[in-house]
A = this chain, B = another copy of it.
Amino acid sequence: MASGETRRTGRRPGSSGTREAIAAAAREQFATVGFDRATIRSIALRAGVDPALVMHFYGNKRQLFVSVLDLPVNLGRQLPAVLEGDRASVGARLADFVAGVLGDPATVERVEAMVRAAASEPRAAEVLRELITTHMMTPIAENLDMDDAALRANLVGSTVAGMVMARRIIGVEPLASLETEDLAAVLAPVLQHYLVGPLVGPLVEK
C-alpha cells in the first residue's frame, strides 16, 4: 500500500483477518511448493480471496514473502533479553529459547518454510540472508561484545538451521522426535561454547 495514498474510510472491518488469512496461505504455499512456484494466484485461491486483494495488501510476491517472514524480525527482538545477564548460563538460556521455537508447531512450521524457500530459490535465500543478518546475527553479535562475535552468531544460526534440516526436512531419529526440554539440554553446552567458549584455532585471540 503506498504510504501517500489518501483513504477516506480507514481500515475496513475484517481487513486484518483477511490480511492474516493471506499471510497464512502464503506461508503454507512457500513451505510446500517453494518461493519460485508459489504464485499470487495460488495464494489467493488458498486464502479464498481475489488475487487483486493480495496485491492490494502486499504489492508483489517478494514483498509478501518478506512480510510473512516477519519471524526473523520478531524473534530477533527477543534475543537481547535472552542474551543479557549471566555469561555462565547464556548458552542454556539461548538453548531454551531455540528449543522453544523449534518445539512450537506453529512457529517451527514457519521456520521450516523459510529454510525450504531458501533452499529452492536463490532470491528467497537472499531475502532471508538480509533478514537474518539484520535482525538475528547483528543482535547476537552486538550482545556478545567479543572480537569474533559475527562468526559466533553465524555458528548459532548454523546450529539452528541444522536442527531444522535434521528434525523437519530430512527427519532423522531419535533427534526428530526429541522433546523440547531434551533438545534444550542437548543444545545448551554447544550454544554456550559457540557464544562465549574458546573457539579453538587461529580464529580466537585469547
Contact = CB atoms under 8 A, between A and B. Distances in A.
B165 A165 contact: yes
A173 to B, nearest CB: 7
A18 interface: no
A200 B172 contact: no
A176 B120 CA distance: 19
A150 B165 contact: no
Given A162-B163, A193-B189, A172 B157 contact: yes
Interface in A130-175: 132-133, 137, 150-151, 154-155, 157-167, 169-175
Contact of A120 (B34, B150, B193, B197): B34
B133 A155 contact: no
Contacts of A119: 115-116, 118-120, 165, 169
A159 B157 CA distance: 11
A203 interface: yes
B201 A182 contact: yes
A128 interface: yes
Tell me how many chains of this kind the complex includes. 2
A169 B200 CA distance: 25
Contacts of A166: 154, 157-158, 161
Nearest to A137: B172
A38 interface: no
B193 A190 contact: yes
Contact of A162 (B159, B189, B200): B159
Contacts of A174: 150-151, 154
A176 B158 CA distance: 10
A185 interface: yes
A125 interface: yes
A79 interface: no
Interface string A2-24: 00000000000000000000000
Contact of A173 (B150, B161, B170, B175): B150
